[in-house]
Structure 1
Amino acid sequence: MDTISLSGIAAVGHHGVFDFERRSGQPFLVDVELYTDFTAAAETDDLTLTAHYGEVAERIKAMVTGEPLNLIETLAVRIAKDLLENYSVDGVSVTVHKPKAPIEVPFGDVAVSVNRTRADFGLEPVAKNVKDSK
């Protein structure tokens, strides 16, 4: 399985269980790995046969800055589902970091990670990207 990785996608979101988190917002960072087979994309040098990572980053930013959620766990699962529904990838790993979480003790980071496949959301397997007959 081939992997496309994006790390540190940054955006300000309004996620959290406390009113001040939703009102003021705070920074979030997202890391994703997309698992796919880019044999056909590499053979043809065709962007449409792989996941366009610029678009992936924009989708993630829109979800972070979009609807406020109580839990970053919910955000991570929603990002995973969106990427699987919109790109020809077999699976994804998503990590959402909340480095300014309201915790009273010193800490470096808070993060949650999810790993999902198309089957986890009842999606059909990806049709293999093969070149048309030679």
Structure 2
Amino acid sequence: MSDRITLTGLRVFGRHGVFEHEKREGQEFVVDITVWLDLSAAASTDELTKTLHYGELAELAAGIVGGEPYDLIESVAGRIAGEVLEDRRLRAVEVTVHKPSAPIPLTFDDVAVTIRRER
């Protein structure tokens, strides 16, 4: 299945991390999501109900990132992937959670975890 919808650069404030100060102070996380599904019905009918509403996808991910704190961004990405894949129309989902302000005492651009789940 080559049809896909991609949401990139979703920025959400969250409180994830293994250190107490990360949970207390929080930081910005960036989320990228790609979902694979058959988009032929949406393309031929021009009906929103025949596709995945990417606004709702963004809201779902933002609710998870901005919600319950986790120690690991692996857990955040896994929860997003699991909830997105509840939509039975989807064949696969890939979620990347970036933690650009991770507490690493070195110069770096980004830390990210990517999880892919398929049916």
Instruction: State the partner residue of 1:54.
Output: 55
Do the aligned partners of residues 30 and 23 (structure 1) sit closer, same or farther apart at CA in structure 2, a change above 3 Å counting? Answer: same
SS of residue in 1 equivalent to 2:52: coil
Structure 1-normalised TM-score? 0.86
Query: How much identity, in percent, do the aligned residues show?
Result: 52
1:46 & 1:28 partners in 2: Cα distance? 32
Instruction: State the partner residue of 1:15.
Output: 16
Instruction: State the partner residue of 2:25.
Output: 24
C-alpha contact (below 8 Å) 1:26/1:100 kept by paired residues: yes
Instruction: State the partner residue of 2:3.
Output: 2
**Runs of 4+ with >6 A deviation:** none
Do the aligned partners of residues 87 and 55 (structure 1) sit closer, same or farther apart at CA in structure 2, a change above 3 Å counting? Answer: farther
C-alpha contact (below 8 Å) 1:13/1:66 kept by paired residues: yes
Structure 2-normalised TM-score? 0.96
* Structure 1 residues 1-134: aligned runs within 5 Å: 1-86=2-87, 88-118=89-119
Query: Could you report, residue by residue, the CA deviation over 1:61-99 in whole angstroms, capped at 9, with x for unpaired residues?
Result: 000000000000011011001101136211011000000
Structure 1, gaps ≥5 residues long:
119-134
Equivalences, count: 118
1:70 & 1:78 partners in 2: Cα distance? 13
SS of residue in 2 equivalent to 1:86: coil
Structure 1 residue identity aligned to 2:31: V
Do the aligned partners of residues 63 and 87 (structure 1) sit closer, same or farther apart at CA in structure 2, a change above 3 Å counting? Answer: farther
Structure 1 residue identity aligned to 2:69: P
Structure 2 residue identity aligned to 1:93: E
C-alpha contact (below 8 Å) 1:51/1:87 kept by paired residues: no
Larger radius of gyration: 1
* Structure in which a larger fraction of residues adopt strand: 2
Cα-Cα RMSD: 0.9
Structure 2 residue identity aligned to 1:55: E
Structure 1 residue identity aligned to 2:56: E
